[in-house]
Amino acid sequence: MSDAPNAVPERIARVAVVGGAGSMGHGIVIACLLGSPDADVRLVARRRESLDHGLELVRSGPFGLDGAVRKGRIDAATRDRALARLKPTLDLAEGVRDAQIVFESVPEIVDRKVDVLREIEASAPRDAVIASGTSSIMIGELGRALAHVDRLVGTHWFYPSNVMPLVEVARADRSAPWATERIVSYLAAIGKKPVVVRDSPGFFMTRFVNLFAAEAMRAVQEGICGIRDVDEMCKTGLGWPMGVFELLDKTASFDAWYHAQEYLHETLGERTRFRRSRARCSRPATAGR
């Protein structure tokens, strides 16, 4: 398109993370702070307690900046410079008003994401790319509520999002090439490994991992092994950094995970086969924390 914004500006100087106080969102904040050392990063949350919690996670959480200093991955001066560029706010409109990229990272509930994306679109510049951090919902579905769906793409991060290199980039039918190119370029620049996939329920990785999760739940239900046994075998047998139940506990509440599976069941049908297994395993799995 002739009036398309510049796909890759000379410099990405302003990034916003809406929902940046959550388990995935705060890691995205850290990834942006450390990967783009000249950019201001806005952490946007709704409530003061959420904002304070997010700031605490960025600084001193399990994968936070203080820990990176202790482990020798960065020095104290780098941490301090990163924190100086972090701009927390409770005002979504203010947080995104001049951003070049806006990462949305709110829970995996269609209506909630749509509402937030509408707010972002109303306040962000027309040439800002909006990246929805969904693991299962089709970008085309989320984009139906937007006036300018061409700038919407999906970014499926993996926990902990500032550590794990992979980011699935979901390109919908109406996602503009310039928007996809800008996101891929930025993610690569901050040290991530973006892989572009076609827009589809669950993309690739969620479908793939959920096969393991479903069988793990069935194995526990049938008394084959316990929750901790499953996690231990995933780590020591498959070389995973964490087990299935540990992963679900850390990346989302089981309520949020349930919503995601309901969506996949509705869109993909019986091939997902999650209904019974999730309903019976949600409580005991949480005990694996």
Residue 161 contacts residue 27 (beta carbons within 8 Å): yes
User: Is pLDDT at 85 greater than 90 in this prediction?
Assistant: yes
Task: Give the right CATH number for 205-286 from 1.10.1040, 1.25.40, 1.10.3470, 3.40.50.
Answer: 1.10.1040
Greater confidence (284 vs 204) lies with 204
User: Is pLDDT at 277 greater than 70 in this prediction?
Assistant: no
Alpha-carbon gap, residue 148 to 157, rounded angstroms: 24
- Quick one: pLDDT band at residue 19, thresholds 50, 70, 90? very high
- Quick one: pLDDT band at residue 54, thresholds 50, 70, 90? very high
Average pLDDT score over the chain: 89
**Which of helix, strand or coil describes residue 155?**
strand
Q: How many residues does the chain have?
A: 289
- Quick one: pLDDT band at residue 10, thresholds 50, 70, 90? low
User: What type of residue sits at position 163?
Assistant: V
- Quick one: pLDDT band at residue 255, thresholds 50, 70, 90? low
pLDDT at 272: 57
Alpha-carbon gap, residue 151 to 168, rounded angstroms: 17
Could you tell me the two tokens for 258?
């349930």
- Quick one: pLDDT band at residue 251, thresholds 50, 70, 90? low
Question: In terms of C-beta density within 10 A (0-12 exposed, 13-18 middle, 19 or more buried), how is residue 271 classed?
Answer: exposed
pLDDT at 8: 64
User: Is pLDDT at 112 greater than 70 in this prediction?
Assistant: yes
Alpha-carbon gap, residue 155 to 117, rounded angstroms: 14
**Which of helix, strand or coil describes residue 166?**
strand
Alpha-carbon gap, residue 76 to 288, rounded angstroms: 35
Please identify every residue annotated as catalytic: 156
User: Is pLDDT at 279 greater than 60 in this prediction?
Assistant: no
- Quick one: pLDDT band at residue 94, thresholds 50, 70, 90? very high
The pTM for the full model equals 0.88
Residue-wise pLDDT for 151-183, tens only, equals: 999 999 998 999 999 999 999 999 999 999 999
Crossing angle of helices 244-251 and 275-286, rounded to 10°: 80
pLDDT at 260: 75
In the sheet that 40-44 helps form, which strands lie side by side, from edge to edge? 86-89, 40-44, 14-18, 101-104, 129-132, 152-156, 166-171, 193-198
Looking at residue 270, what DSSP letter applies?
G
* Class of 14-198 in CATH: alpha beta
pLDDT at 263: 81
Residue-wise pLDDT for 212-226, tens only, equals: 888 898 999 999 999
Burial 68-90 (b: 16+ CB within 10 A, else e): bbeeeeeeeebbeebeebbebbe
- Quick one: pLDDT band at residue 285, thresholds 50, 70, 90? very low
CB atoms within 10 A of CB 234: 20
Alpha helices in the chain (DSSP H): 25-35, 48-60, 65-70, 76-84, 92-96, 110-123, 139-143, 177-189, 205-221, 227-238, 244-251, 254-268, 275-286
